[in-house]
Amino acid sequence: MDTYRIASIDGDGIGPEVMEQARKALAAAGDRFDFDLEYTHFDLGGHRYLTTGEVLPDDELTQIRSHDAILLGAVGTPDVPPGVLERGLLLRIRFEFDQYVNLRPVKLYEGVPTPIAGLTPDRCDFLVIRENTEGSYVGSGGFFRKGTPYEIATQNSINTRHGVERVILNAFERATKRNNKLTVAHKTNVMGFAGDLWWRTAQELAPQFPQVELEYVHADALCLHMINTPERYDVIVTDNLFGDIVTDLGAAIQGGLGMAASGNINPAHGTPSMFEPVHGSAPDIAGNGWANPVAAVLSAAMCMDDLGEPEAAIALEVAATSVLPQLKSMGGPDMGMSTDQIGDLIAERVAG
Ligand code: NAD
Ligand code: IPM
Ligand code: MN
Protein backbone atom coordinates (compact mmCIF):
# COMPACT_ATOMS: atom_id res chain seq x y z
CA MET A 1 0.00 0.00 0.00
CA ASP A 2 1.36 3.44 -0.95
CA THR A 3 1.79 6.08 1.73
CA TYR A 4 1.81 9.72 0.72
CA ARG A 5 3.47 12.24 3.03
CA ILE A 6 1.56 15.51 2.93
CA ALA A 7 2.73 18.86 4.31
CA SER A 8 -0.38 20.60 5.54
CA ILE A 9 -0.54 24.38 5.88
CA ASP A 10 -4.07 25.07 7.11
CA GLY A 11 -3.39 28.78 7.58
CA ASP A 12 -5.86 31.40 8.70
CA GLY A 13 -9.60 32.12 8.78
CA ILE A 14 -11.60 29.51 6.90
CA GLY A 15 -8.35 27.72 5.88
CA PRO A 16 -8.48 25.19 8.77
CA GLU A 17 -12.27 24.77 8.37
CA VAL A 18 -12.10 23.73 4.71
CA MET A 19 -8.88 21.73 5.10
CA GLU A 20 -10.53 19.53 7.72
CA GLN A 21 -13.19 18.59 5.14
CA ALA A 22 -10.51 17.91 2.49
CA ARG A 23 -8.75 15.53 4.91
CA LYS A 24 -12.02 13.68 5.65
CA ALA A 25 -12.63 13.21 1.93
CA LEU A 26 -9.03 12.10 1.37
CA ALA A 27 -9.24 9.57 4.20
CA ALA A 28 -12.33 8.06 2.58
CA ALA A 29 -10.50 7.95 -0.77
CA GLY A 30 -7.52 6.24 0.87
CA ASP A 31 -9.76 3.54 2.37
CA ARG A 32 -11.48 2.93 -0.93
CA PHE A 33 -8.45 3.04 -3.24
CA ASP A 34 -5.94 1.56 -0.84
CA PHE A 35 -3.47 4.28 0.06
CA ASP A 36 -2.41 6.00 3.26
CA LEU A 37 -1.88 9.67 3.98
CA GLU A 38 0.56 10.90 6.57
CA TYR A 39 0.28 14.58 7.46
CA THR A 40 2.82 16.98 8.93
CA HIS A 41 1.16 20.18 10.10
CA PHE A 42 2.97 23.48 9.70
CA ASP A 43 1.70 26.37 11.76
CA LEU A 44 2.25 29.14 9.21
CA GLY A 45 0.23 32.21 8.23
CA GLY A 46 -1.05 35.38 9.83
CA HIS A 47 -1.52 33.89 13.27
CA ARG A 48 2.08 32.64 13.45
CA TYR A 49 3.47 35.90 12.09
CA LEU A 50 1.55 38.00 14.61
CA THR A 51 2.69 35.85 17.55
CA THR A 52 6.34 35.16 16.60
CA GLY A 53 7.19 37.50 13.71
CA GLU A 54 8.09 34.49 11.56
CA VAL A 55 6.73 33.96 8.05
CA LEU A 56 8.53 30.86 6.75
CA PRO A 57 11.74 29.93 8.57
CA ASP A 58 14.36 28.20 6.37
CA ASP A 59 14.36 24.99 8.41
CA GLU A 60 10.58 24.64 7.95
CA LEU A 61 10.94 25.17 4.21
CA THR A 62 13.52 22.35 4.25
CA GLN A 63 11.12 20.08 6.17
CA ILE A 64 8.28 20.85 3.75
CA ARG A 65 10.57 19.99 0.83
CA SER A 66 10.84 16.37 1.98
CA HIS A 67 7.08 15.74 1.52
CA ASP A 68 5.28 14.28 -1.48
CA ALA A 69 2.87 17.22 -1.77
CA ILE A 70 1.64 20.31 0.06
CA LEU A 71 -1.99 21.13 0.84
CA LEU A 72 -2.64 24.75 1.72
CA GLY A 73 -5.90 26.20 3.08
CA ALA A 74 -5.54 29.99 2.97
CA VAL A 75 -3.24 32.54 4.53
CA GLY A 76 -3.84 36.15 5.47
CA THR A 77 -5.40 38.17 8.25
CA PRO A 78 -6.53 41.78 8.06
CA ASP A 79 -3.91 42.88 10.64
CA VAL A 80 -0.87 41.74 8.60
CA PRO A 81 0.35 44.30 6.05
CA PRO A 82 -0.25 43.24 2.44
CA GLY A 83 2.64 41.40 0.81
CA VAL A 84 4.26 40.00 3.96
CA LEU A 85 2.59 36.58 3.74
CA GLU A 86 1.83 36.67 0.03
CA ARG A 87 5.47 37.15 -0.94
CA GLY A 88 7.12 35.54 2.11
CA LEU A 89 5.06 32.36 2.19
CA LEU A 90 2.93 31.66 -0.89
CA LEU A 91 5.21 33.05 -3.59
CA ARG A 92 8.31 31.79 -1.79
CA ILE A 93 7.00 28.21 -1.89
CA ARG A 94 5.96 28.54 -5.56
CA PHE A 95 9.39 29.95 -6.50
CA GLU A 96 11.71 27.87 -4.28
CA PHE A 97 10.03 24.59 -5.27
CA ASP A 98 9.99 25.69 -8.91
CA GLN A 99 6.23 25.07 -9.23
CA TYR A 100 6.19 26.63 -12.65
CA VAL A 101 2.82 25.27 -13.84
CA ASN A 102 -0.20 26.77 -12.10
CA LEU A 103 -3.26 24.74 -13.08
CA ARG A 104 -6.57 26.54 -12.68
CA PRO A 105 -9.55 24.68 -14.14
CA VAL A 106 -12.63 26.72 -14.96
CA LYS A 107 -15.56 24.36 -14.94
CA LEU A 108 -19.21 25.17 -14.43
CA TYR A 109 -20.68 22.32 -12.40
CA GLU A 110 -24.24 21.07 -12.63
CA GLY A 111 -26.64 22.89 -10.30
CA VAL A 112 -24.37 25.91 -9.70
CA PRO A 113 -25.82 29.36 -10.44
CA THR A 114 -23.49 31.37 -12.71
CA PRO A 115 -23.74 35.13 -13.23
CA ILE A 116 -23.58 34.52 -17.00
CA ALA A 117 -27.17 34.32 -18.23
CA GLY A 118 -27.93 31.17 -20.16
CA LEU A 119 -24.53 29.52 -19.64
CA THR A 120 -24.72 25.73 -19.28
CA PRO A 121 -22.05 23.30 -17.96
CA ASP A 122 -21.47 21.76 -21.41
CA ARG A 123 -20.20 25.17 -22.62
CA CYS A 124 -17.78 25.88 -19.79
CA ASP A 125 -14.92 23.48 -19.15
CA PHE A 126 -11.43 24.78 -19.76
CA LEU A 127 -8.04 24.82 -18.08
CA VAL A 128 -5.96 27.95 -17.54
CA ILE A 129 -2.25 27.28 -17.18
CA ARG A 130 -0.58 30.22 -15.53
CA GLU A 131 3.21 30.59 -15.59
CA ASN A 132 4.07 30.60 -11.91
CA THR A 133 7.74 31.54 -11.41
CA GLU A 134 8.50 34.56 -13.61
CA GLY A 135 6.86 37.65 -15.13
CA SER A 136 5.93 40.61 -12.96
CA TYR A 137 5.98 38.44 -9.84
CA VAL A 138 9.78 38.09 -9.52
CA GLY A 139 10.16 41.32 -7.57
CA SER A 140 12.54 42.98 -10.02
CA GLY A 141 12.50 46.76 -9.95
CA GLY A 142 12.81 49.51 -7.45
CA PHE A 143 12.40 53.13 -6.54
CA PHE A 144 14.52 56.06 -7.57
CA ARG A 145 14.09 59.46 -5.92
CA LYS A 146 11.34 57.96 -3.75
CA GLY A 147 9.05 60.48 -2.14
CA THR A 148 10.08 63.30 -4.44
CA PRO A 149 8.02 64.77 -7.28
CA TYR A 150 10.50 63.04 -9.64
CA GLU A 151 9.97 59.61 -8.15
CA ILE A 152 10.46 56.61 -10.42
CA ALA A 153 9.05 53.15 -9.68
CA THR A 154 9.89 50.22 -11.94
CA GLN A 155 8.36 46.74 -11.78
CA ASN A 156 9.93 44.53 -14.39
CA SER A 157 8.36 41.53 -16.04
CA ILE A 158 11.06 38.89 -16.43
CA ASN A 159 10.50 36.30 -19.16
CA THR A 160 13.20 33.75 -19.92
CA ARG A 161 13.21 31.46 -22.95
CA HIS A 162 13.65 28.54 -20.52
CA GLY A 163 10.70 29.61 -18.36
CA VAL A 164 8.37 30.38 -21.23
CA GLU A 165 9.26 27.23 -23.17
CA ARG A 166 8.77 24.81 -20.31
CA VAL A 167 5.32 26.08 -19.38
CA ILE A 168 4.12 26.17 -23.00
CA LEU A 169 5.48 22.66 -23.52
CA ASN A 170 3.51 21.48 -20.50
CA ALA A 171 0.40 23.21 -21.86
CA PHE A 172 0.79 21.44 -25.22
CA GLU A 173 1.12 18.09 -23.42
CA ARG A 174 -1.99 18.75 -21.35
CA ALA A 175 -3.92 19.85 -24.47
CA THR A 176 -3.18 16.46 -26.09
CA LYS A 177 -4.84 14.80 -23.08
CA ARG A 178 -7.92 17.03 -23.47
CA ASN A 179 -9.42 18.37 -26.71
CA ASN A 180 -6.25 19.28 -28.64
CA LYS A 181 -6.71 23.01 -28.60
CA LEU A 182 -4.19 25.45 -27.09
CA THR A 183 -4.65 29.20 -26.79
CA VAL A 184 -1.74 31.50 -25.93
CA ALA A 185 -2.89 34.72 -24.26
CA HIS A 186 -0.67 37.82 -24.07
CA LYS A 187 -0.54 41.42 -25.30
CA THR A 188 1.75 41.21 -28.32
CA ASN A 189 0.22 44.44 -29.59
CA VAL A 190 1.69 46.37 -26.66
CA MET A 191 4.29 44.17 -24.95
CA GLY A 192 6.33 43.61 -28.08
CA PHE A 193 9.30 41.96 -26.36
CA ALA A 194 7.75 39.57 -23.85
CA GLY A 195 4.75 38.93 -26.07
CA ASP A 196 7.01 38.17 -29.01
CA LEU A 197 9.00 35.67 -26.96
CA TRP A 198 5.79 33.92 -25.82
CA TRP A 199 4.13 33.63 -29.22
CA ARG A 200 7.34 32.82 -31.11
CA THR A 201 8.15 30.05 -28.61
CA ALA A 202 4.66 28.56 -28.95
CA GLN A 203 4.91 28.55 -32.74
CA GLU A 204 8.34 26.92 -32.60
CA LEU A 205 7.04 24.13 -30.35
CA ALA A 206 3.86 23.57 -32.37
CA PRO A 207 5.38 21.12 -34.94
CA GLN A 208 6.02 18.66 -32.08
CA PHE A 209 2.24 18.57 -31.51
CA PRO A 210 0.65 18.43 -34.99
CA GLN A 211 -2.67 17.25 -33.54
CA VAL A 212 -3.02 20.40 -31.40
CA GLU A 213 -4.69 23.46 -32.88
CA LEU A 214 -2.70 26.49 -31.68
CA GLU A 215 -4.17 29.99 -31.55
CA TYR A 216 -3.31 33.37 -30.08
CA VAL A 217 -5.59 35.82 -28.25
CA HIS A 218 -4.91 39.18 -26.63
CA ALA A 219 -5.47 38.95 -22.88
CA ASP A 220 -8.10 41.70 -22.83
CA ALA A 221 -10.10 40.05 -25.62
CA LEU A 222 -9.79 36.76 -23.71
CA CYS A 223 -11.78 38.31 -20.85
CA LEU A 224 -14.56 39.17 -23.28
CA HIS A 225 -14.61 35.73 -24.93
CA MET A 226 -14.48 33.88 -21.59
CA ILE A 227 -17.80 35.51 -20.72
CA ASN A 228 -19.51 35.39 -24.12
CA THR A 229 -18.22 32.12 -25.55
CA PRO A 230 -16.28 30.07 -22.99
CA GLU A 231 -16.80 27.01 -25.21
CA ARG A 232 -14.04 28.40 -27.47
CA TYR A 233 -11.42 27.31 -24.96
CA ASP A 234 -9.80 24.05 -23.95
CA VAL A 235 -6.33 24.90 -22.61
CA ILE A 236 -5.14 28.49 -22.20
CA VAL A 237 -1.52 29.29 -21.34
CA THR A 238 -0.43 32.74 -20.22
CA ASP A 239 2.02 34.65 -18.06
CA ASN A 240 1.92 35.04 -14.30
CA LEU A 241 0.03 38.32 -14.02
CA PHE A 242 -2.44 37.80 -16.87
CA GLY A 243 -3.06 34.33 -15.44
CA ASP A 244 -3.78 35.73 -12.00
CA ILE A 245 -6.33 38.17 -13.36
CA VAL A 246 -8.15 35.94 -15.84
CA THR A 247 -8.55 33.13 -13.30
CA ASP A 248 -10.48 35.36 -10.91
CA LEU A 249 -12.77 36.04 -13.83
CA GLY A 250 -12.88 32.29 -14.40
CA ALA A 251 -13.87 31.71 -10.76
CA ALA A 252 -16.72 34.17 -11.14
CA ILE A 253 -17.95 32.45 -14.32
CA GLN A 254 -17.96 29.06 -12.60
CA GLY A 255 -20.19 30.41 -9.87
CA GLY A 256 -17.71 31.70 -7.30
CA LEU A 257 -14.69 30.98 -5.17
CA GLY A 258 -16.36 28.04 -3.47
CA MET A 259 -15.69 25.94 -6.59
CA ALA A 260 -12.29 27.28 -7.76
CA ALA A 261 -9.37 24.89 -7.20
CA SER A 262 -5.72 25.12 -8.15
CA GLY A 263 -2.46 23.22 -8.30
CA ASN A 264 1.05 24.68 -8.28
CA ILE A 265 2.97 21.95 -10.05
CA ASN A 266 6.63 21.16 -10.49
CA PRO A 267 6.34 18.59 -13.32
CA ALA A 268 9.92 17.46 -12.68
CA HIS A 269 8.74 16.06 -9.32
CA GLY A 270 12.03 16.96 -7.65
CA THR A 271 10.18 19.08 -5.12
CA PRO A 272 6.61 18.88 -3.81
CA SER A 273 3.73 20.49 -5.70
CA MET A 274 1.20 22.57 -3.76
CA PHE A 275 -2.58 22.43 -4.01
CA GLU A 276 -4.83 25.20 -2.72
CA PRO A 277 -8.30 26.60 -3.22
CA VAL A 278 -8.17 29.91 -5.09
CA HIS A 279 -10.05 31.67 -2.28
CA GLY A 280 -8.44 33.42 0.66
CA SER A 281 -9.04 33.21 4.40
CA ALA A 282 -12.47 34.94 4.19
CA PRO A 283 -12.18 36.67 7.60
CA ASP A 284 -15.73 37.99 7.17
CA ILE A 285 -17.26 34.51 7.53
CA ALA A 286 -14.57 32.56 9.45
CA GLY A 287 -15.63 30.56 12.50
CA ASN A 288 -19.30 30.23 11.54
CA GLY A 289 -19.34 27.04 9.47
CA TRP A 290 -20.38 29.06 6.44
CA ALA A 291 -17.40 28.28 4.18
CA ASN A 292 -17.92 26.15 1.11
CA PRO A 293 -15.32 23.35 1.34
CA VAL A 294 -15.76 22.13 -2.27
CA ALA A 295 -12.82 24.15 -3.67
CA ALA A 296 -10.55 22.64 -1.02
CA VAL A 297 -11.76 19.10 -1.82
CA LEU A 298 -11.31 19.72 -5.56
CA SER A 299 -7.76 20.92 -4.86
CA ALA A 300 -7.14 17.70 -2.91
CA ALA A 301 -8.48 15.80 -5.94
CA MET A 302 -5.93 17.55 -8.17
CA CYS A 303 -3.27 16.53 -5.64
CA MET A 304 -4.22 12.86 -5.87
CA ASP A 305 -4.21 13.02 -9.65
CA ASP A 306 -0.69 14.47 -9.56
CA LEU A 307 0.44 11.77 -7.11
CA GLY A 308 -0.69 9.06 -9.52
CA GLU A 309 -4.11 8.16 -8.05
CA PRO A 310 -6.45 9.18 -10.91
CA GLU A 311 -9.34 7.01 -9.71
CA ALA A 312 -9.26 8.65 -6.30
CA ALA A 313 -9.10 12.06 -8.00
CA ILE A 314 -12.22 11.35 -10.04
CA ALA A 315 -14.10 9.98 -7.03
CA LEU A 316 -13.24 13.10 -5.03
CA GLU A 317 -14.33 15.45 -7.81
CA VAL A 318 -17.57 13.58 -8.45
CA ALA A 319 -18.45 13.43 -4.74
CA ALA A 320 -17.57 17.07 -4.04
CA THR A 321 -19.53 18.44 -6.99
CA SER A 322 -22.51 16.14 -6.41
CA VAL A 323 -23.41 18.08 -3.26
CA LEU A 324 -23.53 21.46 -5.03
CA PRO A 325 -27.10 21.17 -6.36
CA GLN A 326 -28.22 20.51 -2.78
CA LEU A 327 -26.84 23.81 -1.47
CA LYS A 328 -29.12 26.81 -1.14
CA SER A 329 -26.18 29.13 -1.86
CA MET A 330 -22.53 28.53 -2.75
CA GLY A 331 -21.25 29.86 0.59
CA GLY A 332 -22.23 32.10 3.49
CA PRO A 333 -25.01 32.05 6.11
CA ASP A 334 -27.69 30.87 3.68
CA MET A 335 -25.83 27.79 2.35
CA GLY A 336 -28.41 25.45 3.90
CA MET A 337 -25.72 23.10 5.31
CA SER A 338 -22.67 23.74 7.46
CA THR A 339 -19.08 23.33 6.24
CA ASP A 340 -18.81 20.26 8.41
CA GLN A 341 -22.06 18.67 7.18
CA ILE A 342 -20.98 19.19 3.58
CA GLY A 343 -17.62 17.59 4.39
CA ASP A 344 -19.34 14.56 5.95
CA LEU A 345 -21.60 14.14 2.94
CA ILE A 346 -18.66 14.38 0.52
CA ALA A 347 -16.65 11.81 2.50
CA GLU A 348 -19.67 9.48 2.57
CA ARG A 349 -20.01 9.72 -1.21
CA VAL A 350 -16.28 9.23 -1.78
CA ALA A 351 -16.53 6.02 0.23
CA GLY A 352 -19.00 4.80 -2.42
P1 NAD B 1 -11.30 35.88 0.11
O2 NAD B 1 -11.20 34.89 -0.99
O3 NAD B 1 -10.80 35.45 1.42
O4 NAD B 1 -12.84 36.34 0.27
C5 NAD B 1 -13.58 37.02 -0.75
C6 NAD B 1 -15.08 36.86 -0.49
O7 NAD B 1 -15.48 35.51 -0.84
C8 NAD B 1 -15.48 37.04 0.97
O9 NAD B 1 -16.72 37.65 1.04
C10 NAD B 1 -15.57 35.60 1.49
O11 NAD B 1 -16.47 35.45 2.56
C12 NAD B 1 -16.01 34.83 0.27
N13 NAD B 1 -15.47 33.45 0.25
C14 NAD B 1 -14.19 33.09 -0.04
N15 NAD B 1 -14.05 31.76 0.03
C16 NAD B 1 -15.26 31.26 0.37
C17 NAD B 1 -15.75 29.95 0.60
N18 NAD B 1 -14.98 28.87 0.49
N19 NAD B 1 -17.05 29.80 0.94
C20 NAD B 1 -17.85 30.87 1.06
N21 NAD B 1 -17.44 32.15 0.83
C22 NAD B 1 -16.16 32.33 0.50
O23 NAD B 1 -10.54 37.20 -0.38
P24 NAD B 1 -10.18 38.53 0.43
O25 NAD B 1 -11.29 38.87 1.37
O26 NAD B 1 -9.75 39.50 -0.60
O27 NAD B 1 -8.88 38.16 1.25
C28 NAD B 1 -8.89 37.77 2.63
C29 NAD B 1 -7.47 37.40 3.03
O30 NAD B 1 -7.05 36.24 2.30
C31 NAD B 1 -6.44 38.48 2.72
O32 NAD B 1 -5.53 38.52 3.78
C33 NAD B 1 -5.76 37.99 1.43
O34 NAD B 1 -4.43 38.45 1.27
C35 NAD B 1 -5.80 36.50 1.63
N36 NAD B 1 -5.72 35.69 0.38
C37 NAD B 1 -5.06 34.53 0.49
C38 NAD B 1 -5.01 33.66 -0.58
C39 NAD B 1 -4.30 32.35 -0.41
O40 NAD B 1 -3.95 31.99 0.68
N41 NAD B 1 -4.09 31.60 -1.46
C42 NAD B 1 -5.67 33.98 -1.77
C43 NAD B 1 -6.39 35.18 -1.84
C44 NAD B 1 -6.43 36.04 -0.73
C1 IPM C 1 -3.61 33.85 -6.19
C2 IPM C 1 -3.45 35.04 -5.27
C3 IPM C 1 -1.96 35.29 -5.07
C4 IPM C 1 -1.33 35.65 -6.42
C5 IPM C 1 -1.64 36.35 -4.02
C6 IPM C 1 -2.36 36.08 -2.71
C7 IPM C 1 -0.14 36.46 -3.82
O8 IPM C 1 -4.09 36.16 -5.77
O9 IPM C 1 -3.15 32.76 -5.82
O10 IPM C 1 -4.20 34.01 -7.26
O11 IPM C 1 -1.35 36.83 -6.83
O12 IPM C 1 -0.81 34.74 -7.08
MN1 MN D 1 -5.19 35.79 -7.64
- Residue 298 pLDDT > 90, yes or no? yes
- Work out the pLDDT band at 163, boundaries 50, 70, 90: very high
Residues 339 and 268 in one domain: yes
Residues 160 and 277 in one domain: no
Query: 273-277 and 261-265 as β-strands: parallel, antiparallel, unpaired?
Result: antiparallel
The vertex-293 CA angle with 270 and 22, nearest 5°, equals: 45
Residues 249 and 263 in one domain: no
- Does 90 sit in the ligand 2 pocket, CB within 6 Å? yes
Q: Quick one: pLDDT at residue 1?
A: 85
The answer to whether residues 210 and 150 touch, using CB atoms and an 8 Å cutoff, is: no
The C-alpha atoms of residue 77 and residue 259 are separated, in whole angstroms, by 22
The C-alpha atoms of residue 4 and residue 105 are separated, in whole angstroms, by 24
Query: 273-277 and 69-74 as β-strands: parallel, antiparallel, unpaired?
Result: parallel
Residues 223 and 146 in one domain: yes
- CA 240 to ligand 1 centroid distance, Å: 20
Q: Quick one: pLDDT at residue 269?
A: 81
Domain boundary among 201, 229, 253: 253
- CA 149 to ligand 1 centroid distance, Å: 36
- Specify the pTM: 0.97
Q: Quick one: pLDDT at residue 336?
A: 97
Domain boundary among 253, 273, 303: 253
The C-alpha atoms of residue 124 and residue 134 are separated, in whole angstroms, by 28
What are the pLDDT digits (tens) for 204-218?
A: 999 999 999 999 999
What are the pLDDT digits (tens) for 3-25?
A: 999 999 999 999 999 999 999 99
The closest ligand to the CA of 292 turns out to be 1
Residues 145 and 93 in one domain: no
The answer to whether residues 182 and 213 touch, using CB atoms and an 8 Å cutoff, is: yes
Question: What CATH number is attached to the domain comprising 60?
Answer: 3.40.718.10
Q: Which residues pair with 183 in a beta bridge?
A: 215, 236
The C-alpha atoms of residue 210 and residue 245 are separated, in whole angstroms, by 30
The C-alpha atoms of residue 164 and residue 190 are separated, in whole angstroms, by 18
Residues 128 and 242 in one domain: yes
Number of compact structural domains in the chain? 2
Residues 75 and 167 in one domain: no
Q: From atom 38 of ligand 1, which residue's Cα is the shortest distance away?
A: 280
Q: From atom 5 of ligand 2, which residue's Cα is the shortest distance away?
A: 86
What are the pLDDT digits (tens) for 44-63?
A: 999 999 999 999 999 999 99
Q: DSSP string of 41-102? A: E---SHHHHHHHS-S--HHHHHHHHTSSEEEEEE---TTSPTTHHIIIIIIHHHHHTT--EE
Residues 87 and 128 in one domain: no
What are the pLDDT digits (tens) for 85-139?
A: 999 999 999 999 999 999 999 999 999 999 999 999 999 999 999 999 999 999 9
Round the average pLDDT of the chain to a whole number and report it: 97
The C-alpha atoms of residue 26 and residue 312 are separated, in whole angstroms, by 8
Mean pLDDT of 296-304: 98
Q: What percent of the chain has pLDDT over 70?
A: 100
The answer to whether residues 103 and 302 touch, using CB atoms and an 8 Å cutoff, is: yes
Residues 126 and 83 in one domain: no
Residues 78 and 129 in one domain: no
Residues 134 and 187 in one domain: yes
Is residue 303 classed exposed, middle or buried when 0-12, 13-18 and 19+ CB atoms within 10 A define those classes?
buried
Structural domain of 240 = 115-253
Domain boundary among 187, 221, 253: 253
The C-alpha atoms of residue 339 and residue 88 are separated, in whole angstroms, by 29
- CA 74 to ligand 3 centroid distance, Å: 12
Residues 92 and 165 in one domain: no
